[in-house]
Amino acid sequence: MKPRVLWSLSLLLSLLSTKLAYSQNPAVSLSPMSLSFDSQAQGTVSASQSVTVTNTGTGQLTITAKDVTGDFAITDGIPTCSAGPVAPTARCVINVTFAPKATGTRNGTLTITDDDGGVTGSPQVVPLKGTGTTAPAAPTAPAASAKPGGIPCLNLKPDWVSIPKEATLTPIVISSCDTPALDLSKDKVTLESANPNPDPNLQVSLPPDTCKAVTTSELDCDLTVTPADGPKKYDVKYYVAVLNKTERVGRPIELHIGDRNLYWMILAGIDLTSTTSGPNQQWFARASLMEKLLSYPGASKQHGVWGWLDAKIGSMPTQKTSALSSLSSVSSAVSSSGIQSVGDIAQTLEFRTGLSFYLSRRIGFISGFGGSSPINPVSGAQEYSLSGNLYKQFANQSPASQSLQQTYPQLWNALQTNQPIQGCYTTTPAPSGCTTTVAFVLPNRSRFYRSYFGGLRLWTKEGDQSIFPGLLDLTVGQNETVTGGVLRGVVLTLTGDYPLAGGTFRLFGSAFMRISSNTNGVTMDMSPVTSAVSPTSSSVVIQSTVPLDQDYFRVGVAVDIVKVLATLTKPKTQ
């Protein structure tokens, strides 16, 4: 091939490659071209504003640096500009915050260095401007309002807002809780971060123009919560402040963004505990703690593993000889004034602890263990007269008689000792050496009673994360308070409580029942004594009762001490 032809082909290829390279250059578009921040108190951090970088060219855009000057700071937005080249038509976001170090007008610049137009090192400059104002008191100890009459009282509902899955407008209500109520209709609402380094995966804003006066003392506002991919903090705290021109109205109100992971409450009230022999009223106190220990990937709200602890002063049934259903005269024995009385319900110190596993929004599995111990254990005895007919009943070789001998060995020994002595049951006073009375006594009830259980838990109250949720538990297991002081059989337990009046009051109830069929006891021929006899007398035989199953039920009402104290100590105008 001739040299001229080769030179022509080389020139043509060079021109084509230059044109192709030029046609694949990136191009930068910024929106907005400048940022202007509202007045911001010195020493505080503003809500972030965004600059969007869009590649309008045909080649990939490479950003090599992002710099800021003045009282401003930058963080990566969503999508980030630090993840690599920006493809044609794609965009990335840079967030800018304003933290004035002095009062007055504060200027700065955001400089983005890239390869705009194919030229490496091309700078894109965004002017920044804000106004610094006099620093207010620290959010943790806000200064009082200069308004006359004390510090105004403000309420915020809700004060916990869950993190949504996408950008969401959440209505919040700010109201005056003073009497007479303050006029908030012309005031301005601002949002202040309580943390100088807010969660980068969560953007929260409260534009002032979204707050509308429903009444003169109540403002309805729209809070914008925008999540992003990536791990989020459990609880991001902000302060909602109400301003009358430049003067703060009252104290900033805490606003929590996130899913609450720790609940606790302290209750005091009364409960009514009932067994088969009748109800008894007792004082009731309870301290409860519930904390989220583990979250499932992508889960929110309740989903996860929770640890919980309940400690309470409650009530439980005591063993009682009136439960000896085998006694033919048990009804008259209980009502007889000569019988030493036996308590039915004892005050107890109880605890229950365990784990709950939530796989859906409201239903989860629960497992745990607990224990209880009487604070005021009850003692006493019921006394009955012995007779010759009772000996015959024990001496009979039937299976029922053999069961009586094994169940009541002390009584059987006394009946055998009386048998050779004439007139033990017919002569008054009885001959020496005779045992004429049996005293049925309670087993020791001052010990520790165990329980363990597993089942389902229903989260019955949700939405307002500022209060301890209502819970309903349905479990099966074993419980020594129900089954006579020993672990046996299967006990079904239903417990629940529900908050009222914003969590200040709570209704609660529980039922403890052994799952088993009824059995008939053997009737013994005895009569109650007409007057009490000292159990230390030589004519009295002491016989311990057999532990019996006792189902019992509790209902009651309590007040949350923490919420009451918070209400009483909340600052109000004078």
* Composition of the chain by helix, strand, coil, percent to 5: 15, 45, 40
d(CA 356, CA 368): 9
Nearest to 442 by CA among 519, 353, 545: 545
CATH of 262-324+338-379+443-515+549-565, one of 3.40.1580, 2.40.128, 3.30.60, 1.10.3470: 2.40.128
What are the residues whose beta carbons fall under 8 Å from the beta carbon of 238, sequence distance 6 or more? 191, 192, 193, 194, 204, 254, 255, 256, 257
Are both 27-133 and 154-258 of the same fold?
Answer: yes
Which residues, listed in sequence order, are joined to residue 160 by a DSSP beta bridge?
Answer: 256
Query: How many whole angstroms from its chain centre is CA 399?
Result: 55
Measured at the CA of 83, the angle between CA 81 and CA 85, to 5 degrees, comes to 80
Please tell me the predicted confidence (pLDDT) of residue 522.
63
Give the CATH class of 154-258: mainly beta
The CATH code for residues 27-133 is 2.60.40.10
Q: What's the CA dihedral at 224, 230, 236, 238 to 10 degrees?
A: -40
Structure token digits, residue 444: 């020791």
Strands 160-161 and 253-258: parallel
Please tell me the predicted confidence (pLDDT) of residue 280.
61
Contact assessment for residue 316 and residue 305, using Cβ atoms and an 8 Å cutoff? no
Please tell me the predicted confidence (pLDDT) of residue 2.
54
Contact assessment for residue 370 and residue 352, using Cβ atoms and an 8 Å cutoff? yes
| Longest alpha-carbon distance in the chain | 153
Q: What's the CA dihedral at 183, 185, 186, 190 to 10 degrees?
A: 100
Please tell me the predicted confidence (pLDDT) of residue 82.
79
Please tell me the predicted confidence (pLDDT) of residue 183.
79
d(CA 501, CA 521): 49
Q: What is the identity of the amino acid at 52?
A: T
Indicate the domain borders of the chain.
27-133, 154-258, 262-324+338-379+443-515+549-565, 387-435
Grouped pLDDT means (10 residues each) for the chain, 574 residues: 57 54 75 89 85 88 88 82 82 88 90 85 89 65 38 74 74 79 75 68 74 82 77 68 65 73 84 64 81 67 81 69 36 32 61 88 89 70 84 84 85 92 87 89 68 91 71 94 84 92 86 77 74 83 77 87 76 44
